[in-house]
């Protein structure tokens, strides 16, 4: 019997590729070429499976052009690069990688918030540029993290892991807002208090965004929301580009409306709004919150597991849709 044909859309760990190659006829992309939508559709001709990342858009148009496709396994917990209703309608499974990146991503979110509050990259640039001539009483004075109020917008697995770090490790008062309120036991475990979005914006000393992207979540934080925040507050975005209006954020950072921001994700990334690049009170990182070696390997292997599940006749273990058997 012919092996299923799989496209691995980006470079991956050799051991993940080997696992896939043991069961499938694999077309790899270890040169890590970024395919245009037209190239992706051409590459997917005759393929039943795709190992994707956030870089590949699985749209209704692409699906229409790739009738053999049965499953797309995303190496990411977020799947806003998938048109899930279109995939379900065409009988294509969509899978993601939840759970395995929670703690690593929470570590990074916390680190980015701390770097932002304590002005770590700004002061390092100053030192490296040879400007450090003397100690000074207020040199790079930032804001405290311990004992302050941590606001979390989006209280899924990663939000909860950040809450635990703040409450248990740093004695922070944790407040959160989410589409739905957590059950009492989870709130108690995270030592987190549910508040309205307005109260979250007004009260947080450090606001961290961890909500998934959707059309409704576009510009959740724009000029009006930034205007409600404390002038001493920081904003950290490890969620998705587009959740923050980056142009409005740059304006707020320039005018002192808020103190500083830490950003791992950007509207239209890998492009970064030029106004953000010109500011010193923003810490910028290239979408690396999940990037520890063990976690990226676990993500790659979970994406591979989903493909292996599907082609051995099982339900993919972390699917985000359900495709009826008849489809
Ligand atoms: C991925 C992420 O590295 O999991 C997610 O949703 O944002 C990152 O962990 C990125 O999306 C590449 O696939």
Cα of 293 vs centre of ligand 1, distance in Å, is: 14
Cα of 235 vs centre of ligand 1, distance in Å, is: 20
Q: Phi then psi for 216, rounded to 5 degrees?
A: -70, -25
For atom 4 of ligand 1, which residue has the closest CA? 76
Question: How sure is the predictor about 324, in pLDDT bands with cuts at 50, 70 and 90?
Answer: confident
Region 275-301: mean pLDDT is 98
Region 287-316: mean pLDDT is 98
Residue 240 alpha carbon, nearest atom of ligand 1? 7
Task: Convert the pLDDT of each residue in 109-145 to its tens digit.
Answer: 999 999 999 999 999 999 999 999 999 999 999 999 9
- Interatomic CA distance for residues 294 and 47, integer angstroms: 29
Per-residue pLDDT for 285 more than 60?
yes
Q: Phi then psi for 189, rounded to 5 degrees?
A: -65, -40
Asked if 205 and 260 touch (Cβ cutoff 8 Å), the reply is no
Q: What pLDDT is recorded for position 87?
A: 98
Q: What pLDDT is recorded for position 226?
A: 98
**Residue-averaged pLDDT of the chain:** 97
Q: What pLDDT is recorded for position 326?
A: 62
Residue 74 alpha carbon, nearest atom of ligand 1? 13
Cα of 239 vs centre of ligand 1, distance in Å, is: 9
Cα of 35 vs centre of ligand 1, distance in Å, is: 18
Asked if 267 and 241 touch (Cβ cutoff 8 Å), the reply is yes
For atom 1 of ligand 1, which residue has the closest CA? 76
Which of 75, 97, 112, 263 maximizes ligand 1 atoms within 8 Å of its Cβ, making it the mutation to test the pocket? 75
Cα of 37 vs centre of ligand 1, distance in Å, is: 19
Q: What pLDDT is recorded for position 58?
A: 98
Which of 290, 294, 295, 318 maximizes ligand 1 atoms within 8 Å of its Cβ, making it the mutation to test the pocket? 290
Question: How sure is the predictor about 239, in pLDDT bands with cuts at 50, 70 and 90?
Answer: very high
Question: Which residues line the pocket of ligand 1, CB cutoff 6 A?
Answer: 53-54, 75-78, 101, 290
Q: What pLDDT is recorded for position 232?
A: 98
Q: What pLDDT is recorded for position 297?
A: 98
Task: Convert the pLDDT of each residue in 173-202 to its tens digit.
Answer: 999 999 999 999 999 999 999 999 999 999
Cα of 11 vs centre of ligand 1, distance in Å, is: 14
Residue 76 alpha carbon, nearest atom of ligand 1? 4
Question: How sure is the predictor about 325, in pLDDT bands with cuts at 50, 70 and 90?
Answer: confident
Q: 277 in helix, strand or coil?
A: helix
Pick the closest to residue 155 from 79, 200, 211, 205 (CA basis).
Answer: 211
Task: Convert the pLDDT of each residue in 39-50 to its tens digit.
Answer: 999 999 999 999
* Residue carrying the six token digits 């959707």: 214
* Residue carrying the six token digits 């040199």: 139
Region 207-227: mean pLDDT is 97
Residue 289 alpha carbon, nearest atom of ligand 1? 9
Q: What pLDDT is recorded for position 110?
A: 98
- Interatomic CA distance for residues 68 and 284, integer angstroms: 40
Which amino acids are annotated catalytic? 240, 269, 287
Residue 265 alpha carbon, nearest atom of ligand 1? 7
Pick the closest to residue 177 from 156, 157, 158 (CA basis).
Answer: 156
């Amino acid at each position: 019997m012919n092996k299923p044909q799989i496209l691995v859309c980006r470079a991956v760990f050799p051991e993940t590729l080997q696992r896939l190659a043991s069961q499938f006829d694999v077309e790899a992309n270890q040169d890590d070429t970024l395919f245009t939508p037209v190239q992706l559709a051409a590459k997917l001709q005759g393929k039943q499976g795709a190992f994707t990342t956030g870089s590949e858009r699985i749209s209704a148009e692409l699906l229409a052009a790739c009738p053999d496709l049965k499953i797309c396994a995303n190496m990411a917990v977020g799947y806003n690069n998938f048109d899930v209703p279109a995939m379900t309608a065409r009988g294509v499974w969509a899978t993601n990688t939840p759970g395995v990146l929670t703690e690593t991503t929470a570590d990074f979110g916390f680190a980015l918030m701390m770097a932002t509050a304590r002005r770590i990259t700004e002061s390092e640039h100053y030192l490296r540029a040879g400007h450090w001539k003397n100690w000074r009483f207020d040199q790079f004075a930032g804001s405290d993290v311990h004992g302050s109020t941590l606001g979390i917008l989006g209280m899924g697995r990663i939000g909860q892991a950040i809450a635990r770090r703040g409450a248990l490790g740093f004695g922070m008062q944790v407040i959160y807002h989410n589409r739905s309120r957590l059950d009492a036991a989870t709130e108690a475990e995270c030592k987190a208090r549910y508040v309205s979005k307005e109260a979250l914006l007004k009260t947080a000393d450090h606001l961290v965004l961890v909500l998934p992207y959707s059309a409704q979540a576009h510009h959740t934080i724009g000029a009006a929301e930034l205007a409600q925040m404390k002038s001493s507050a920081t904003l950290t975005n490890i969620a998705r580009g587009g959740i923050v209006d980056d142009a409005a954020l740059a304006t707020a950072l320039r005018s002192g409306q808020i103190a500083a921001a830490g950003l791992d994700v950007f509207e239209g990334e890998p492009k970064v709004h030029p106004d953000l690049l010109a500011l010193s009170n923003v810490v910028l990182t290239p979408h690396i919150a999940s990037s520890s070696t063990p976690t990226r390997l676990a993500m790659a292997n979970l994406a591979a597991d989903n493909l292996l599940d599907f082609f051995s006749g099982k339900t993919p273990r972390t699917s985000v849709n359900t495709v009826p058997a008849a489809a």
